[in-house]
Structure 1
Amino acid sequence: MPNEKLPREKVFRDPVHNYIHVQDRVILDLINSPEMQRLRRIHQLGVSSIVFQGAEHTRFTHSLGVYEIAREICDNFAANYPSQRPDDGLWDNSERLLTLCAALLHDIGHGAYSHTFEHIFNTNHEDITREIITSPTTRVNAILRRVSPDFPAQVASVIDHHYPNPQVVQMISSQIDADRMDYLLRDAYNTGTNYGLFDLTRILRVMRPYAGGIAFEPNGMHAVEDYIVSRFQMYQQVYFHPVSRGMEVVLTGVLKRAKELYEAGSVKKEFRPRLLIPFFDQDFTLDDYLQLDDGVLTTYFHYWQRYPDPILSDLADRFLNRRPLKSLPFSTGTEGLLPAMSKAVADAGFDPEYYTAINNSFDLPYDQYDPTSASPKTQIEIMQLDGSLEELSTLSPLVAAITGKVSGDQRYFFPKVMLTPKDDEHWQPAYGEFQRYLAHGQIIDPRINGML
């Protein structure tokens, strides 16, 4: 049957939502599909568990959480804003299953160590999400086709932002959506921080559909403000943490060095990473991609700890045993010092290609809609009592203060040992040069002082 209900509701216990409720056979079958189960083996926050030891949660738990928030929104809309005629701008509950499938599957294309892997091997998790949903070779596609032949394409169009009903699209992807609300609460819970906490119950209560998408009632504006501020703080304190970024630089170096050795034809047979070779060759299939997860890469890193190439073995050891690169922020005033500092790193015996890096991490906590932007953001609308809409930052001085304000920093990464003096005549010149430029940088940019 296209939308068979389960004989009894299935529930999953969850630390954020208490229970995740499943009533539809399609949803339960999607959860049990191999493509969804793979997400149990991919960390939601990548390497952040190296800083926040509780952050062992996965893309799987997050995906179920997004589904649960979307389900609650659909139920609220169906109970309080049911459509009475095609053009009334209220909720058409025939789109419920489509919305829930898109919410559950929105991250299914994420790969091993997610964004770092994408950067090295030029993959795109959004494209692969689309392919998993629409390819007749996947179990996910077979389940979706039970609803209708074009149902997989419809689900993909929601995630692509091309689906014609903006209510459905904005529920999954907007400046305040089921995806962001779940990951903020879930990441805050698992990292042991309070920055990402906000009143989800209140926000869901004041959401309402209208012809142009989703708006919020005026009496819930402060809950929405709190969400915006929580998001801002999570990016600054958790997502942009310099030690996490230092580990990402090491992870990038491991994969980059392994790829370079493979391309040079110098990888010994016993160390050949069979499941990574299609990506080294840039000739991989969807099945190749689905074979990978965090555990597969970590297993290769264990092998590479004993590889005869000193760079690869050292970087693999640094990653497995939590030895991140150190960092300092820099500005346009101090950026000119970085080449000399990298030379000092090289003089100390480190290849700057792998042991120095520049990492830029910036976020826009909230932005007004700009139709001329390459990726215009859907603004948050507050629906007034007369039915008119007011953009959030025009009503909230707090949100206005951070609207359009990019936050984050640029950091220069280098081996921690460059901060440590040694009684070694070969070490002293490089160490002295590095310290000289570091001190000069502190004079030019006082923010560096004390932030190593």
Structure 2
Amino acid sequence: MKIHDFIYGSFHLEPVLAELIHTQPLQRLKKIHQGGASYLVNPKWNVTRFEHSVGVMLLIKKLGGSIEEQIAGLLHDISHTAFSHVIDFVLDNPEQDFHDQIFEKVIQSSEIPSVLQKHGFNILSILPIEKWSLLEQPLPSLCADRIDYTLRDLSTYNMISLDDACKFVDELRVVDGKICLKTIEAAEWFVKAYYTEVVDFFLHPLNVYGYAILTDILKIAIAKQIIHFDDLLSDDETVWKKLIDSKDPEVLKKMKDISKKVINDERNYDIHQKKKVRIIDPFVLVGNARMKKATELSTKVRELNQYALEKSLKGTFLRVLNT
């Protein structure tokens, strides 16, 4: 199977990857939006978990990761519920890791273990997903997951140029199993791009508003037993239709409210929301194989980190306009 990605280029996929892509759990991700409620407030904010999962797999392949790590990359978001991280707000889960908590159960109850076995792989050699160093790294390090969602979202939404995203990928290197950058200039570019994603986009007033209203809608619907937990294991489209079909006046009013306009207003606000603090500090190659953190080399990165920390801790204050 040949596949083309607008960021990483064209690749031939091994049969196990091709078959996994066509399984129901992977295909389900085509109807789960990366930004949770974002597509409801701006239809152009429509990147899906499927696109991201395939992208992570291809980036790992491009970086020379093993076939097992490519499989892990493809599967890493398989347990995301409908509306992605909105569910963490519904469940009052500040770590925003509910999908991680149910990951192994979702995998084991699917056809994925049998597909892997058919091709000579064991699901136990893939799990736990956190063991793969290219795929996942704790903040503030780079990893394929973090790189892909940043480049994919921002280039799709014209917040960075596709040309710049592709040039950045060429600056990536792997040393001792960790992703690092060839130059401090590339690190400075990515740090700025990353904060465009996690501050300017994640904390964009419309995004914050969409999250808040959709959280309220889902909490009401669960309390009234309009939807049940198992419904959240379907997809955005299925759950949204069930909400509409309920004809519940309170739910329908809230669904209509999602189209209201909002403005930043710290003094007279209706909604205040914070999201998980995300600070990045990539490793940069110094010499042939020695690595240093970007903050050790760049005043600009240190300033950007301070800016992002302050913005994240402050959060977003919104006033809802009734006109």
| Smaller-chain TM-score bracket | 0.7 to 0.9
Instruction: Give the conservation status (yes or no) of the 8 Å contact 1:102–1:172.
Output: no
Q: What's the counterpart of residue 55 of structure 2? A: 65
Instruction: Give the conservation status (yes or no) of the 8 Å contact 1:66–1:104.
Output: yes
Q: What's the counterpart of residue 127 of structure 2? A: 156
Q: 2-side partners of 1:183 and 1:206: how far apart?
A: 16
Q: 2-side partners of 1:194 and 1:386: how far apart?
A: 30
Change (3 A) 1:192 1:384: closer
Q: 2-side partners of 1:114 and 1:154: how far apart?
A: 26
Q: What's the counterpart of residue 142 of structure 2? A: 176
Residue type matched to 1:45 in 2?
A: G
Q: Give the secondary structure class of the aligned counterpart of 2:315.
A: strand
Q: What's the counterpart of residue 272 of structure 2? A: 358
Residue type matched to 1:316 in 2?
A: M
Q: Could you tell me how far 1:201 is from its partner in structure 2?
A: 4.3
Q: Could you tell me how far 1:113 is from its partner in structure 2?
A: 0.6
Listed one character per residue, the Cα deviations across residues 356-383 of structure 1 (whole Å, up to 9, x for unaligned) are 543123633325xxxxxxxxxxxx3334
Question: In the TM superposition, what are the counterparts of 1:16-415 in structure 2 within 5 Å?
Answer: 16-19=7-10, 21-74=11-64, 96-121=66-91, 124-133=98-107, 135=108, 137-146=109-118, 151-157=122-128, 159=129, 161=130, 163=131, 168-174=132-138, 175-194=141-160, 198-210=164-176, 213-214=177-178, 216=180, 219-262=182-225, 273=226, 276-277=227-228, 279=229, 290=233, 292-304=234-246, 306-307=247-248, 309=249, 311-319=250-258, 322-323=259-260, 326=262, 328-330=264-266, 356-361=270-275, 363-367=277-281, 380-385=282-287, 387-403=289-305, 406=309, 407-408=311-312, 409-413=314-318, 415=320
Change (3 A) 1:416 1:101: same
Q: Could you tell me how far 1:215 is from its partner in structure 2?
A: 5.3
Q: 1-side partners of 2:165 and 2:152: how far apart?
A: 13
Taking only the aligned residue pairs, the percentage that are identical comes to: 20
Q: Could you tell me how far 1:141 is from its partner in structure 2?
A: 1.6
Q: Give the secondary structure class of the aligned counterpart of 2:218.
A: helix
Q: 2-side partners of 1:413 and 1:229: how far apart?
A: 24
Gaps of 5+ in 1: 1-9, 75-94, 263-272, 339-355, 368-379, 421-452
Deviates more, 1:99-108 or 1:199-208: 199-208
Q: 2-side partners of 1:61 and 1:52: how far apart?
A: 18
Q: Could you tell me how far 1:64 is from its partner in structure 2?
A: 0.8
Q: 2-side partners of 1:389 and 1:248: how far apart?
A: 39
Q: Could you tell me how far 1:132 is from its partner in structure 2?
A: 2.7
Q: Give the secondary structure class of the aligned counterpart of 1:169.
A: coil
TM norm structure 2: 0.84
- Tell me which of 15, 25, 42 is aligned to 2:6: 15
Change (3 A) 1:18 1:200: closer
Relative contact order, higher structure (CA 8 A, sep 6+) = 2
Residue type matched to 1:323 in 2?
A: K
Q: Give the secondary structure class of the aligned counterpart of 1:12.
A: strand
Instruction: Give the conservation status (yes or no) of the 8 Å contact 1:43–1:58.
Output: yes
Instruction: Give the conservation status (yes or no) of the 8 Å contact 1:22–1:28.
Output: no
Change (3 A) 1:171 1:56: closer
Q: Could you tell me how far 1:220 is from its partner in structure 2?
A: 2.5
Q: Could you tell me how far 1:216 is from its partner in structure 2?
A: 3.5
Instruction: Give the conservation status (yes or no) of the 8 Å contact 1:208–1:216.
Output: yes
Gaps of 5+ in 2: none
Q: What's the counterpart of residue 416 of structure 1? A: 321
Residue type matched to 2:304 in 1?
A: I
Q: 2-side partners of 1:403 and 1:253: how far apart?
A: 32
Change (3 A) 1:202 1:231: closer
Tell me the C-alpha RMSD between the 2 structures: 2.9
Listed one character per residue, the Cα deviations across residues 268-310 of structure 1 (whole Å, up to 9, x for unaligned) are xxxxx4xx33x2xxxx5xxx654x1000121023224x32x4x
Q: What is the aligned residue count?
A: 314
Q: 2-side partners of 1:128 and 1:416: how far apart?
A: 38
Q: 2-side partners of 1:71 and 1:112: how far apart?
A: 28
Change (3 A) 1:195 1:130: farther
Q: 2-side partners of 1:188 and 1:197: how far apart?
A: 12
